[in-house]
Amino acid sequence: MAQITAAMVKQLREMTDSPMMECKKALVEADGDIEKAVDVLRKMGVAKAVKRAGRDTNEGTVATYISEDGKLGAILELTCETDFVGTNPKFTGFAADLAKVVAENDPADVEALKACKMGDATVADELTEMIHVIGENMKVARFKRVSVESGALASYIHLGGKLGDIVSFGFANDATATADEFKNFAHDVAMQVAASAPVAARREDVPADVVAHEKAIYMAQAAESGKPEFIQEKMAVGKLEKFYKECVLTEQEFIKDSSTTIAELAKGVSKAVSDDVQILGFERFAFGEE
């Protein structure tokens, strides 16, 4: 039996907003496994919210780059030692330049990125030079390259570089990318991704294991009702539908207007630009989050 420490109870409380004694019981039942304890609390119906356990990390920034034609982009996380440097324009500008290198070279990993050309030198050389100039250690934590064939990308940076995303849109006509209606819509959707942290762009994109996990939680909750199994199934399906509406981007309520959904906004902009505008996916980086 794992030892349940006060720190573990505190972490679980912060993640779930649940009572201390319930957190302790859940940890005992889960033999000290934090993630399993979260599920225990959810099955008990006492977990009000589940927050990601943020790990202690260095300072830094999230940066994005999108090509002029809007079809190629990248998002990158660059770390440093202090918040002062993390918001320094020289540092944030360097992060954006690195994102451009990622987009144009498509490196497989950080080591491959370091070997890429950056001006007359390599990324590794420029990184070393930046470390010397600024006087702090820094490193590329992660990155993701994004591209579309027929469509465009949009990005959003929030919280002074602590949160960023790139959203991929699909459509048939190149002219759509320059239409004000599309540009406003794309900006709003990118902002929505930053604010609401959806798990997927579309229902069919939610990983099967996530759906199975959620349904298992809801079935366990329904079983506590003591109602017949077929009623329990309906209760679980109903909660799963609510999960989709809260966690799937296209089904979410628009943060600027709760009377409409992102899917309905997409239909409206499609009509306005005489094209079929689809949200294909997104990449979202919260600084310090794996």
> How is 47-99 classified by DSSP, letter by letter?
-------PPP--EEEEEEEE-TTSSEEEEEEEEES-HHHHT-HHHHHHHHHHH
Q: Which residues contact 200 (CB under 8 A, 6 or more apart)?
A: 206, 207, 247, 248, 249, 281
Instruction: Say what the pTM is.
Output: 0.79
Give pLDDT, residue 51. 55
Contact 42, 75 (CB under 8 A): no
Q: Stretch 171-176: mean pLDDT, rounded?
A: 96
Confidence of residue 105 (pLDDT cuts 50, 70, 90): very high
Give the chain's domains with CATH numbers. Answer: 1-53 (1.10.8.10), 56-147 (3.30.479.20)
Give pLDDT, residue 212. 93
C-alpha to C-alpha distance for 215 and 284, rounded to whole angstroms: 25
Give pLDDT, residue 233. 87
Q: Stretch 248-261: mean pLDDT, rounded?
A: 97
**Is 53 a residue whose pLDDT tops 90?**
no
The edge-to-edge listing of strands for the beta sheet with 72-80 is 59-66, 72-80, 139-147
C-alpha to C-alpha distance for 289 and 56, rounded to whole angstroms: 10
Q: Which residues contact 5 (CB under 8 A, 6 or more apart)?
A: none
Give pLDDT, residue 201. 97
H helices of 197-261, in order, are 208-223, 229-247
C-alpha to C-alpha distance for 44 and 18, rounded to whole angstroms: 11
For 163-172, what is each residue's pLDDT tens digit? Answer: 999 999 999 9
Confidence of residue 54 (pLDDT cuts 50, 70, 90): very low
C-alpha to C-alpha distance for 82 and 2, rounded to whole angstroms: 36
Confidence of residue 48 (pLDDT cuts 50, 70, 90): low
- Torsion angle of the four alpha carbons 231, 233, 237, 238, in this order, in degrees rounded to the nearest 10: 20
- Torsion angle of the four alpha carbons 38, 199, 194, 188, in this order, in degrees rounded to the nearest 10: -140
Of the candidates 28, 250, 2, 1, the one whose C-alpha atom is nearest the C-alpha of residue 12 is: 28
What is the overall mean pLDDT for the chain? Answer: 92
